[in-house]
Amino acid sequence: MQATTLAATMALGALVAAPAATASTPEGSAPDCGTGRGIPDSQISIQLFTHVGELGFGEPTAEQLDRVLGEVADAGFRNVELYNQPYDMPVEELKGLLDEHGLHAASSHGSTDWDTWPETVAYAAELGQRYVGAGGIPGSVATYEDTLETAAYLDQLGEYAHHNGVQKVLLHNHTSVFDAKFTHPETGETVTAWEVLEENTDPRYVTFELDLGWAADAGMDVAGLVEEHGDRMELLHVKDAVNIGAPEGLTQVGLGDGEMDFAEIFSAAKGDVKYYTYEWDFAPSFESSAKSFEFLDCFTF
C-alpha cells in the first residue's frame, strides 16, 4: 500500500453531484441527509489502513483494534476492509470485536502466498468475507508474458477461494499497473497491464478493486475506465486528492475536498459496484473519516 491514494464508485442512473454537509450527528448513526439518499450504508466500507497510525504496520493488538473499530463504527461505517490479514489473533476473537461494534469484514488485503493461501482463505471465510486479496499485484507486470503469468496466478488464487467459502480474489491497483504498457500480440494495439490482467482472468474467480486515485494519478480517464470495465469492478477505493498527476505526487484529502469528479465516476459505475471502500492513507483523524462517510452517505443521486 502506498502513502497516497484516492478513488471512487457507484450509481444506477444519472447523478447530480454534491454531498450536503449537515450538523453533527449522534455517534454510530447515519447523518440526516435531507431529501436525498446517497450510497446505501450497506455498500460503504473503509480500508483500515486509513488509520494505520493508530493500528501500526504489523499485527495490531486487541486493544488497538477495539479502539479503531469503535471509532469507525461511531463514524457511521458498517463494513471494513482489513489489511495484513490474517492476524495472529484467533479469528473468533476478531469476529467478536467486529460483532461488538456492529461491523462486518467485507474484504481484506494481505498475503497471497500460495503456501499460506488455505489459511488466509479459511480466516476470511470464517469472518464472512466475500473478497480477499492483496494491496498490490501478486506477481510481475514487467513484460506481457510476466503479466499473463500473474493473471494465471490470480485465477489459481480465486478458484481456490471460490470453492472454499470466499467469493472472489480481488486485485487492487497502484499506478504501476497502468504505467506498464505492451503491444498486444494479436491486435497490435498498446494495452496496459491492467487490461491484460482483466482480459486473461476468469470473472467467476477474479474481480478488480479499482483505486480511482492511483488510476487518475496514472493519467487514466477514470470515469471512462469504469464505464467500459465496470462489470469487472465489484469494489472501488474511494479517495480524493489534490495535485493529481503532479511530478511531486498527489496529496490525499477528505472526500469532496479534492479534484476527483465523483459525480461522473459514480454515474459510470452503473450499479456494478458492491462496495465503495473509502481510504486515506495516514488520515489525520477519525473526524476526517466521519466526514468522508457522510460524503458518501449523503451524495445525491
The residue extents of the domains of the chain are: 41-298
What CA–CA distance (Å, rounded) separates 87 from 65? 11
Nine cell digits for residue 54: 493508530
pLDDT tens-digit map of 129-182: 999 999 999 999 999 999 999 999 999 999 999 999 999 999 999 999 999 999
Q: Which residues of 132-159 are buried (b: 16+ CB within 10 A; e: fewer)?
A: bbbbbbbbebeebebbbebbebbbbbbb
Among 11-25, 86-100, 273-287, which is the least confidently predicted range? 11-25
The grid coordinates of residue 278 equal: 473509502
Other CB atoms within 10 Å distance of the CB of residue 4: 19
Strand partners, 242: 251
pTM, to two decimals: 0.88
The topology (CATH level 3) of 41-298 is TIM Barrel (3.20.20)
For the stretch 96-144, pLDDT in tens is 999 999 999 999 999 999 999 999 999 999 999 999 999 999 999 999 9
Q: Where are the beta strands (DSSP E) in the chain?
A: 44-47, 79-85, 104-110, 131-134, 168-172, 181-183, 190-192, 206-211, 235-238, 240-242, 251-253, 275-278
